Amino acid sequence: MWQRINKNKYRFLFLALFIPLAILVRGYQYGSGDQMIQLPILYKMSDATLFPTDYLFPVTNSNKTFLYPIILFLSKLFGDSMYAAFFFIYILTNVFLYIGLYWLSLLITKNEKTSVVNLIFFVFALPVAGSATTIVETSFIPRLVGTV
């Protein structure tokens, strides 16, 4: 039993060091990708006087998502900073992504070294062949929440 507790402490320590390092290496981009559409919608939701004649917003009023109210709540919590809200969710989803990848790889392979190598592949935002996406996003997008 003590060996198992000791092993889990080392796993936790490894993940606690690896995750921030991976996020620092990959970096973060604000206002790119899907955020180019999301940010005006969020700004309009927080201040109804913005963009009074834009044709995009009557269409988005019919859109139901749980993510926009959460981002607006977090932005208020961080002093009306959309950047801080997006960055916080980005960090949070990446933590769960890396923990999930590690444990899934460990469950499938039952090999610590393979699980670590698997995580290393997800540090760099490598392009997916034949598409405009990367294997790991460098900005927060709703697809990242769905992945986690």
pTM summary value: 0.78
- Could you report the per-residue pLDDT of 29-67, keeping only the tens digit for each? 887 777 777 888 888 888 878 888 887 776 656 566 788
Torsion of CA 50, 51, 52, 58, to 10 degrees: -110
How far is the CA of 90 from the CAs of 7, 102, 114, 132, in angstroms?
Answer: 28, 18, 26, 20
Q: Using the 8-state DSSP alphabet, how is residue 52 labeled?
A: T
Of the candidates 99, 77, 89, the residue with the CA atom closest to the CA atom of residue 142? 89
Neighbour tally for 82: CB within 10 Å: 20
Evaluate if residue 146 carries a pLDDT over 70.
no
Evaluate if residue 122 carries a pLDDT over 90.
no
The amino acid that residue 11 corresponds to is R
By the 10 Å C-beta count (0-12 exposed, 13-18 middle, 19+ buried), 55 is classed as exposed
Residue 148 or residue 39, greater confidence: 39
